[in-house]
């Protein structure tokens, strides 16, 4: 008891020490806020008067102050979250943030009797704060000096002796957790022995109940993850790792890191491509919690093309259809369709005009010849219209008999231009051109492909008749599917957008400061509008991050590739979770999108999501889905084995509901019920009235998400859905942080214990 009290006293004292530091940080921030308010008022009063240099300097100050203001107003849970106590550095040099730059300890930092003094203490937070004398009160987590907080391990401690995670809420420190990186050392801080409190900050983070949005992991990023987050943004950073290894988390933190490193370069925008709108809404809170929003667009694959009018495409084609629509064979079909769609059922077959007092006509054959001639070029169809117009005029002029009238070239040219002028302003000619060579919108071509006969013509020798029928039928349904969006985007390129006049903008010196728009409350409305407009106009990005990259189809890789032609890339994925039927084809398209850029490859090996008991079950499916592929190592175990149940009395709905209720009672947070795609709608009805902690999901929608508990309904149904079914089942089984129930239907051939045959040893 007495020992426990002593521990508690030390803990309270250490919390008190961190509290003092946090108080000091807040005092300094308040000072800065006063400065910020003064500067903002001053700026508002003076308007934009002054030399450009002075303006830029003032704006930079307002910007920095605005960052602090914004941060404080948001009352982040843990503004300050870490601390490292370090040995003296080797070179004794300090970096721009006031911390020693060396990661290696000085030669004499550890004495022969294994004692040492702490040479430097750094606090790590969401942004950096300097004291009035420029000493660092808090180091930004992305700064080089903060890297040892994440990188240091007992095997390679560098200068770190003690690594501390500080839990705080607003202005109050709630707790501290320490890890000793050099346990063999007797280290002293200000002459007293260095105390060590508790262990397992990471475990505490992992055990917390889940909500419907992802949390940042800034206080517990692990060394192998940190290497990826801080990898230099050259060419392509390629990250592979199994379920729950933090790929999504790492991708988001990397976006924040890149912005910190080089804000001006990434003013060109960072695009994060996510497979589903569900994953977008699950992850979109992470960047704001890291203080970054303005420059990063997180978009679902179904929301990437501009023509996707009517919002996000989130309907899915049946697997047999998406397999065709996603494949690179569609490219050849679309090329034909983009040209063939010029021929509509109501396309005029005769051109008749009056010129020089004569009636002139071009008949069907002549018109066809002209069209073929124009289309022999490779330019986008809409951009060929001027050439079509010219060839029509040429043919009409030839018919008029005026061509040989003058031998003098100047007179002949004059005659020709007055002919062109006459004809091309005539209503009948203009009306004909609009109908015969209409400006094609991508959507119009896609709709035309819904006509089975026409699609059959365009897809001859590319798709078989059964495939043509399926695709045409799917295109006649209202709305857009996720896979249609990549087709639309390809059509956009094939058709070409006619140049539109650019809108003029007023010059605003504040625009030079990227990110400022997010921070200036007085300008909020207009700046937000501006940000939205810029985002809408943006078609290329400076950095592209692809999450769940294993799922992109060849057509989707082409679509994403177009948005990052000059970009650097970060690609995260897991081939074992791919729902695309032909991973080799997709990999070839990915390589095409990335060109010859060199790649740096990283691997993440630790599963932070699933307890070992769940990971072990999922590994059985992995062995079937991808023999020989190794499972990531689960970092914790809960002692709770997965539960197996068979459908009771043929009542699937009733059993699902009862099992969902049981899970809801068992965990504090969220419950996901994963069913085969074609059961999505009924599953939502089964769960009616159980509250918003539980959601029904189609197997493909479960990508990237996680729940405290999951109920996987009929593994066999999910596995049989598509050629990639086993990999999709692997995804479904790896969504849970605590509890997993597997419900077996008849098709699962459960044994007496309710275990489906797919999951038996």
Binding site for ATP: what residues are annotated? 241-248
Shortest CB 706 distance to ligand ATP, Å: 5
11-to-168, 175, 178 alpha-carbon distances in Å: 14, 8, 11
Among 245, 289, 295, 710, indicate the residue that binds ligand ATP (CB under 6 A). Answer: 245
Shortest CB 252 distance to ligand ATP, Å: 8
Among 102, 168, 248, 581, indicate the residue that binds ligand ATP (CB under 6 A). Answer: 248
- Which residues neighbour 306 within 8 Å (Cβ) at sequence distance 6 or greater? 492, 536, 539
Given the rule CB under 6 A, which of 8-16, 246-254, 415-423, 467-475 is the region that contacts ligand ATP? 246-254
User: Segment 620-649, which members bind ligand ATP (CB under 6 A)?
Assistant: none
Given the rule CB under 6 A, which of 128-136, 243-251, 637-645, 721-729 is the region that contacts ligand ATP? 243-251
Given the rule CB under 6 A, which of 31-39, 44-52, 239-247, 270-278 is the region that contacts ligand ATP? 239-247
Helices 427-436 & 409-424 angle (0-180, nearest 10): 80
Measured from the CB atom, the residue of 468 and 552 that comes closer to ligand ATP is 552
Measured from the CB atom, the residue of 76 and 608 that comes closer to ligand ATP is 608
Measured from the CB atom, the residue of 205 and 623 that comes closer to ligand ATP is 205
Of 429, 454, 415, 437, which Cα lies nearest the Cα of 370?
Answer: 437
Given the rule CB under 6 A, which of 91-99, 162-170, 238-246, 361-369 is the region that contacts ligand ATP? 238-246
Measured from the CB atom, the residue of 432 and 608 that comes closer to ligand ATP is 608
Shortest CB 635 distance to ligand ATP, Å: 9
Given strand 192-193, what is the order of strands in its sheet?
A: 115-117, 186-189, 192-193
Where do runs of H (alpha helix) occur along 563-679? 583-594, 612-625, 652-666
Shortest CB 594 distance to ligand ATP, Å: 21
Helices 427-436 & 385-400 angle (0-180, nearest 10): 130
CB 220 within 8 A of CB 253: no
Among 136, 241, 564, 750, indicate the residue that binds ligand ATP (CB under 6 A). Answer: 241
Given the rule CB under 6 A, which of 115-123, 245-253, 361-369, 746-754 is the region that contacts ligand ATP? 245-253
Instruction: Indicate the Cα dihedral angle 664, 668, 670, 674, nearest 10°.
Output: -40
Where do runs of H (alpha helix) occur along 47-200? 52-73, 147-151
Query: With the C-alpha atoms ordered 330, 336, 339, 342, is the resulting torsion angle positive or negative?
Result: negative
Among 247, 299, 389, 590, indicate the residue that binds ligand ATP (CB under 6 A). Answer: 247
Shortest CB 483 distance to ligand ATP, Å: 21
Of 604, 625, 607, which Cα lies nearest the Cα of 616?
Answer: 607
For the stretch 728-755, what's the b/e string if a residue is b when 16 or more beta carbons lie within 10 angstroms of its beta carbon?
bbbbbbbbbbbbbbbbbbeebebeeebb
β 671-675/606-607 pair status: unpaired
Measured from the CB atom, the residue of 569 and 608 that comes closer to ligand ATP is 608
Given the rule CB under 6 A, which of 157-165, 247-255, 374-382, 387-395 is the region that contacts ligand ATP? 247-255
Measured from the CB atom, the residue of 278 and 676 that comes closer to ligand ATP is 278
Contact pattern from residue 173 through residue 202 relative to ligand ATP, giving x for each residue in contact according to CB under 6 A and a dash for the rest: -----------------------------x
Shortest CB 443 distance to ligand ATP, Å: 33
Measured from the CB atom, the residue of 239 and 663 that comes closer to ligand ATP is 239
Helices 2-46 & 52-73 angle (0-180, nearest 10): 140
Of 305, 330, 338, 307, which Cα lies nearest the Cα of 445?
Answer: 338
- Which residues neighbour 295 within 8 Å (Cβ) at sequence distance 6 or greater? 259, 263, 266, 267, 269, 270, 514, 515
722 binds ligand ATP (CB under 6 A): no
CB 446 within 8 A of CB 338: no
Residue 694: helix, strand or coil by DSSP?
strand
Contact pattern from residue 198 through residue 227 relative to ligand ATP, giving x for each residue in contact according to CB under 6 A and a dash for the rest: ----x--xx--------x-x--xxx--x--
- Which residues neighbour 408 within 8 Å (Cβ) at sequence distance 6 or greater? none
Contact pattern from residue 1 through residue 40 relative to ligand ATP, giving x for each residue in contact according to CB under 6 A and a dash for the rest: ----------------------------------------
Among 98, 136, 243, 515, indicate the residue that binds ligand ATP (CB under 6 A). Answer: 243
Among 246, 611, 672, 725, indicate the residue that binds ligand ATP (CB under 6 A). Answer: 246
Given the rule CB under 6 A, which of 173-181, 236-244, 451-459, 509-517 is the region that contacts ligand ATP? 236-244
Cα R_g (the chain), whole angstroms = 32
Q: Which residues belong to the annotated binding site?
A: 241-248
Shortest CB 147 distance to ligand ATP, Å: 15
User: Segment 297-336, which members bind ligand ATP (CB under 6 A)?
Assistant: none
Taking the CA of residue 668 as centre, how many other CA atoms within 13 Å lie in the half-sphere pointing to its CB? 5
Of 252, 471, 440, 420, which Cα lies nearest the Cα of 347?
Answer: 440
Neighbours of 354 (CB within 10 A): 13
Angle value at C-alpha 348, between 343 and 349, nearest 5 degrees: 95
Of 674, 704, 706, which Cα lies nearest the Cα of 687?
Answer: 674
DSSP for 124-168, written as a single string? EESS-EE-TTS-EEEEETTSGGGHHHHH--SSS-TTEEEEEEEEE
- Which residues neighbour 441 within 8 Å (Cβ) at sequence distance 6 or greater? 307, 495
User: Segment 558-597, which members bind ligand ATP (CB under 6 A)?
Assistant: 574, 577
Measured from the CB atom, the residue of 489 and 547 that comes closer to ligand ATP is 547
Shortest CB 172 distance to ligand ATP, Å: 22
158-to-190, 519, 739 alpha-carbon distances in Å: 21, 37, 39
Measured from the CB atom, the residue of 230 and 492 that comes closer to ligand ATP is 230
User: Segment 445-484, which members bind ligand ATP (CB under 6 A)?
Assistant: none
> How many residues bind to ligand ATP according to rule CB under 6 A?
24
Place of tokens 């990898």: 231
Among 608, 686, 707, 730, indicate the residue that binds ligand ATP (CB under 6 A). Answer: 608
Measured from the CB atom, the residue of 220 and 237 that comes closer to ligand ATP is 220
Distance CA 216, CA 285 (A): 9
Distance CA 229, CA 267 (A): 19
CB 241 within 8 A of CB 632: yes
Among 65, 67, 147, 249, indicate the residue that binds ligand ATP (CB under 6 A). Answer: 249
Measured from the CB atom, the residue of 128 and 241 that comes closer to ligand ATP is 241
Distance CA 301, CA 314 (A): 9
Measured from the CB atom, the residue of 202 and 333 that comes closer to ligand ATP is 202
Shortest CB 29 distance to ligand ATP, Å: 27
Of 691, 684, 701, 693, which Cα lies nearest the Cα of 735?
Answer: 701
335-to-320, 328, 379 alpha-carbon distances in Å: 22, 12, 11
Among 123, 325, 543, 609, indicate the residue that binds ligand ATP (CB under 6 A). Answer: 609
Among 561, 704, 745, 750, indicate the residue that binds ligand ATP (CB under 6 A). Answer: 704
Among 292, 518, 706, 717, indicate the residue that binds ligand ATP (CB under 6 A). Answer: 706
Measured from the CB atom, the residue of 224 and 489 that comes closer to ligand ATP is 224
Measured from the CB atom, the residue of 443 and 636 that comes closer to ligand ATP is 636
User: Segment 524-563, which members bind ligand ATP (CB under 6 A)?
Assistant: none
Residues at the interface with ligand ATP (CB under 6 A): 202, 205-206, 215, 217, 220-222, 225, 241, 243-249, 574, 577, 608-609, 704, 706, 734
């Amino acid at each position: 008891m007495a020992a426990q009290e002593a521990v508690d006293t030390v803990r309270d004292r250490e919390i008190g020490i961190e509290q003092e530091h946090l108080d000091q940080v807040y005092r300094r921030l308040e000072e800065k806020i006063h400065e910020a308010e003064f500067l903002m008022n001053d700026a508002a009063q003076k308007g934009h008067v002054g030399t450009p240099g002075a303006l830029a300097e003032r704006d930079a100050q307002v910007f920095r102050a605005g960052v602090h203001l914004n941060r404080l107003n948001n009352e982040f849970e843990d503004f300050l979250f870490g601390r490292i106590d370090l040995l003296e550095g080797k070179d004794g040099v300090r970096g721009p943030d006031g911390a020693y730059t060396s990661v290696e300890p000085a030669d004499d930092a550890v004495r022969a009797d294994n004692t040492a003094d702490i040479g430097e203490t750094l606090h790590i937070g969401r942004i950096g704060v300097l004291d009035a004398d420029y000493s660092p009160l808090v180091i930004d987590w992305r700064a080089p000096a903060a890297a040892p907080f994440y990188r240091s391990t007992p095997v390679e401690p560098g200068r770190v002796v003690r690594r501390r995670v500080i839990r705080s809420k607003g202005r109050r420190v709630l707790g501290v957790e320490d890890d000793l990186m050099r346990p063999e050392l007797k280290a002293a801080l200000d002459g007293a022995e260095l105390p060590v409190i508790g262990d397992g900050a990471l475990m505490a983070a992992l055990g917390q109940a889940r909500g419907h949005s992802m949390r940042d992991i800034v206080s517990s990023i692990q060394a192998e993850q940190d290497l990826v987050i801080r990898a230099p943004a050259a060419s392509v950073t390629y990250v592979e790792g199994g379920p729950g290894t933090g790929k999504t988390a790492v991708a988001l933190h990397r976006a924040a890191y890149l912005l910190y490193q080089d804000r001006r370069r990434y003013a060109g925008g960072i695009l994060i491509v996510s497979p589903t709108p569900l994953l977008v809404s699950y992850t979109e809170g992470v960047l704001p919690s890291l203080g970054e929003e303005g420059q990063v667009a997180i978009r679902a694959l179904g929301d990437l093309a501009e023509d996707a009018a009517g919002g996000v495409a989130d309907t899915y084609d049946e697997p047999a259809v998406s397999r065709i629509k996603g494949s690179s064979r569609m490219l050849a079909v679309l090329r034909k369709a983009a040209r063939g769609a010029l021929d509509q059922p109501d396309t005029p077959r005769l051109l008749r005009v009056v010129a020089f007092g004569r009636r002139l006509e071009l008949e069907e054959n002549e018109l066809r010849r002209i069209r073929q001639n124009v289309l022999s070029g490779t330019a986008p169809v809409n951009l060929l219209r001027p050439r079509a117009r010219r060839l029509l005029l040429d043919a009409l002029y030839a018919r008029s008999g005026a061509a040989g009238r003058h031998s003098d070239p100047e007179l002949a040219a004059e005659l020709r231009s007055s002919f062109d002028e006459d004809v091309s302003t005539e209503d009948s000619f203009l009306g004909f051109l609009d109908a015969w060579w209409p400006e094609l919108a991508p959507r119009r071509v896609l709709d035309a492909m819904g006509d089975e006969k026409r699609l059959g013509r365009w897809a001859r020798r590319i798709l078989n008749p059964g495939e043509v029928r399926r695709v045409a039928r799917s295109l006649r349904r209202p709305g857009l599917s996720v896979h249609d969006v990549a087709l639309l985007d390809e059509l956009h390129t094939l058709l070409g957008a006619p140049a539109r006049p650019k809108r003029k903008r007023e010059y605003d010196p504040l625009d030079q400061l990227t990110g400022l728009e997010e921070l200036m409350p007085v300008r909020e409305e207009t700046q937000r509008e501006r940000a939205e407009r810029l985002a809408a106009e943006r078609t290329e990005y400076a950095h592209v991050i692809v999450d769940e990259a294993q799922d992109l189809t060849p057509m989707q890789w082409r679509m994403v590739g177009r948005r990052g032609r000059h970009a650097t890339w970060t690609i995260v994925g897991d081939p074992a979770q791919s729902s695309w039927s032909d991973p080799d084809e997709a990999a070839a398209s990915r390589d095409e999108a990335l060109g010859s850029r060199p790649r740096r490859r990283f691997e993440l090996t630790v599963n932070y999501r699933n307890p070992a008991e769940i990971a072990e079950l999922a590994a059985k499916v992995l062995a079937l889905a991808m023999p020989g592929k190794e499972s990531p190592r689960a970092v914790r175990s809960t002692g709770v084995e997965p539960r197996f149940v068979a459908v009771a009395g043929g009542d699937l709905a009733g059993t699902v509901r009862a099992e969902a209720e049981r899970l809801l009672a068992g965990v504090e947070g969220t419950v996901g019920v994963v069913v085969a795609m074609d059961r999505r709608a009924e599953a939502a009805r089964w769960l009616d009235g159980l509250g918003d902690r539980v959601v029904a999901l189609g197997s493909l929608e479960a990508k990237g998400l996680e729940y405290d508990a999951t109920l996987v309904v009929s593994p066999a149904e999910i596995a049989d859905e598509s050629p990639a079914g086993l990999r999709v089942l692997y995804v479904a089984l790896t969504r849970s942080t605590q509890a997993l129930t597997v419900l077996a239907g008849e098709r699962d051939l459960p044994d007496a214990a309710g275990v489906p045959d797919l999951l038996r040893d």
